[in-house]
Amino acid sequence: MGVKILAVGDICGEPGLNFLSGKLKEFRKEKEIDFVVVNGENANVVGITPRQADQIFKAGADVITLGNHTWTRTELRPYLEERRKILRPANYGPQCPGRGIGVYHTAFGDVCVLNLLGRFTLDNNTDNPFVIADGYMAEIQEKIILVDFHAEGTSEKRAMGYMLDGKASAVWGTHTHVQSSDACVLPKGTGYITDLGMTGAVQSVLGIDPEQSIGKFMGDPPRRYEAAKGPAKLEGCLFEIDPETGKCLRAEGVRWL
């Protein structure tokens, strides 16, 4: 029996936060989950506040990862320096607050989590995530290595998965909010899924109110995104990992309502 790691797709607005707060601990107990990584990138619909990060930790997350909206809420910057369990992408400049990689002590051994940001169609001034990831893999000593690659392009995410196959225990994609159906164990033992999906309102367009999203495509003037209302869901991927070897034994996409 391996260690069970749950990766949770982007939290989107209050529906996602409330669903996580009400259900994650129950899911952890029911599924006997040992470690949880949550992408909190869109907890505030765009970005995340310290209060929302605290709520995600209180809900049962062990680590929070971020992405291209990391700097949207300026009040988050000191929080990134103070808290070790929230990560921003490692390929942001070294002068940026916070860290992009962390090692966390658990009952089953140390777990290393790496957060990266893709460059394809994302207008961010970042270092090459492939070069950064390759460099870290040469230095990391821990057996269990988890990578959240926050990226737009499916090709970019799959390329990262194959590059890290046999080096990382699990690689998953976030950012596009639509769960992909390719959860698998790659040939050299790395668990992989192109996109976890999202945690937020079921009847939505990527977590956003459908009418607002339609209006945007129809040419309405820009306005702040509003999270859709109504029943929510949690999407992600459950990885079973051998703590002795760091290899993934099983990968399963999950959608819990």
Would you name the residues annotated as active-site residues? 69
CA–CA separation, 202 vs 206, rounded Å?
Answer: 9
CA distance 175 to 148: 10
Q: 3-state secondary structure string, 59-109?
A: HCCCEEECCCCCCCCCCHHHHHHHCCCEECCCCCCCCCCCCCEEEECCCCC
Packed helices 154-163 and 129-137: angle between N→C axes, nearest 10 degrees: 20
Question: Cα–Cα distance between 47 and 75 in angstroms, integer?
Answer: 11
Sheet holding 184-185, edge to edge: 101-104, 111-117, 144-150, 170-174, 191-193, 184-185
